[in-house]
């Protein structure tokens, strides 16, 4: 585990110990765990950037996940939970340790009255549509970005005035050496794109939502309408990870970066979007180093001109958070 340099910008990938033979053997012989080696993370992120994961596991149940967590702890290797990869920047050199994706039983959805229980591997867009079809409302505004339930819980993701905390009651959380437990979401200190789960070794395996009964057809129409508006305001076509920085109090990171004249700034294959200055797009074979250069340039420019210290919203994994803060603090 890394030092908590900045919640939400710290990866759980440190220290970078490798996965030894014994650990690989234990993982491969665990029921419900599928092990692959040297999987390019670029193919698993919306930015399309990132070198190989030393070991990439697909985990199908809470029991299988517990064993993966135990192996990681006992063999002292890092474990990174991977959702849809829509809010993460991985290094070009890849990451040592285990990258874990939740599938199988962890993609199940159960309805009971107005209560919806979803595995952490379910995509929010699918959940919003499926619940709307059942006349259950509340997730429409959260359906327009690429996210798993687990990733959205950890980020307390939100859009159009609705955040995860508005619809969640409980989440299921696994921690090394402890059984998975249900925790009230408000006890996890949800704030603006933050929860106390960030920068820890906790894993979200599922979530319970409290929705309300209403007109399902109208909810589906609203989902389509919100998504149309959304795609008009975001850079289309080029890979990206949504907002790079959190908005500072009473302002917008995009406005500040734009006011510094940085729209369209390029480093290698990456560019600060000409459409939305708080989004960096991968124009052509961008590297993580290119994205980090642009983030540092934007951070310095906004600090020098406005005295505002922007904080990354995107998760800088595998040592990139330390590199980012090291560079911005160096001046
Ligand atoms: C086009 C676009 C638009 C976006 N718009 C928005 C928006 O409007 N609002 C918004 O809030 N975000 C937005 N985002 C950012 C992103 O979609 C959200 O932050 C999303 O919730 C991340 O979910 P994920 O499954 O992709 O997580 P990942 O990016 O895979 O992971 C994000 C973090 O969560 C951790 N994590 C993931 N799953 C788990 C788990 N099960 N247990 C523990 N930790 C886990 C990861 O380790 C990582 O630290 C946008 C992104 C894109 C590309």
Atom of ligand 1 nearest to the CA of 198: 49
Question: Which protein residue's CA is at the shortest distance from atom 12 of ligand 1?
Answer: 157
User: Rounded to the nearest whole angstrom, what is the distance from the C-alpha of residue 25 to the centroid of ligand 1?
Assistant: 31
Please provide residue 135's backbone torsions phi and psi, each rounded to the nearest 5 degrees: 75, 25
**pLDDT at site 6:** 39
- Confidence tier at 16 by pLDDT (50, 70, 90): low
Strands of 270-272's sheet in order across: 240-243, 279-282, 270-272, 266-267
Nearest to 117, CA basis, from 127, 132, 125, 103: 127
Domains in the chain, please, with CATH?
21-104 (3.30.43.10), 108-219 (3.30.465.10), 236-329 (3.90.78.10)
Query: Is the pLDDT reported for residue 231 higher than 80?
Result: no
Annotation marks residue 112 as catalytic: no
- Confidence tier at 302 by pLDDT (50, 70, 90): very high
| Overall average pLDDT of the 136-165 stretch | 96
**pLDDT at site 4:** 34
User: Rounded to the nearest whole angstrom, what is the distance from the C-alpha of residue 35 to the centroid of ligand 1?
Assistant: 23
Nearest to 94, CA basis, from 33, 164, 138, 44: 44
Q: Which of 67, 243, 273, 287 is catalytic?
A: 243
Annotation marks residue 193 as catalytic: yes
Q: Which of 54, 107, 140, 313 is catalytic?
A: 313
**pLDDT at site 12:** 42
Query: Is the pLDDT reported for residue 331 higher than 70?
Result: yes
């Amino acid at each position: 585990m890394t030092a908590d340099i900045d919640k939400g910008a710290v990866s759980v990938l440190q220290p970078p110990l490798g996965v030894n033979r014994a650990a690989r053997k234990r993982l491969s012989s665990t029921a419900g765990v599928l092990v692959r080696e040297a999987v390019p993370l670029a193919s698993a992120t919306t930015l399309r950037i990132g070198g190989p994961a030393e070991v990439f596991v697909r985990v199908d149940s809470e029991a299988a996940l517990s064993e993966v967590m135990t192996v990681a702890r006992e063999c002292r290797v890092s474990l990174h939970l991977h959702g849809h990869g829509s809010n993460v920047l991985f290094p070009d050199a890849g990451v040592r340790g285990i990258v874990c994706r939740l599938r199988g039983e962890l993609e199940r959805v159960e309805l009971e009255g107005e209560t919806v229980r979803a595995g952490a591997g379910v995509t929010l867009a699918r959940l919003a549509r499926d619940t709307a079809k059942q006349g259950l409302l509340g997730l429409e505004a959260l359906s327009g970005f690429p996210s798993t339930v687990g990733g959205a819980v950890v980020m307390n993701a939100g859009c159009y005035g609705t955040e995860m905390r508005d619809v969640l009651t409980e989440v299921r959380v696994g921690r090394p050496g402890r059984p998975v437990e249900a925790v009230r979401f408000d006890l996890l200190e949800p704030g603006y794109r933050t929860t106390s789960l960030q920068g820890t070794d906790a894993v979200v395996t599922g979530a319970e939502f409290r929705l309300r009964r209403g007109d399902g057809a109208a909810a589906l129409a609203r989902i389509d309408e919100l998504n149309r508006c959304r795609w008009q305001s975001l850079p289309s076509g080029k890979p990206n990870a949504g907002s790079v920085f959190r908005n500072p109090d009473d302002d917008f990171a995009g406005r500040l970066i734009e006011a510094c004249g940085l729209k369209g700034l390029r480093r290698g294959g990456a560019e600060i979007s000409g459409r939305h200055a708080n989004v960096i797009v991968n124009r052509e074979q961008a590297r993580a180093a290119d994205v980090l250069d642009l983030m540092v340039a934007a951070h310095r420019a906004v600090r020098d001109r406005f005295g505002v210290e922007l904080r990354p919203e995107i998760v800088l994994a595998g040592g990139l958070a330390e590199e980012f803060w090291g560079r911005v603090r160096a001046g």
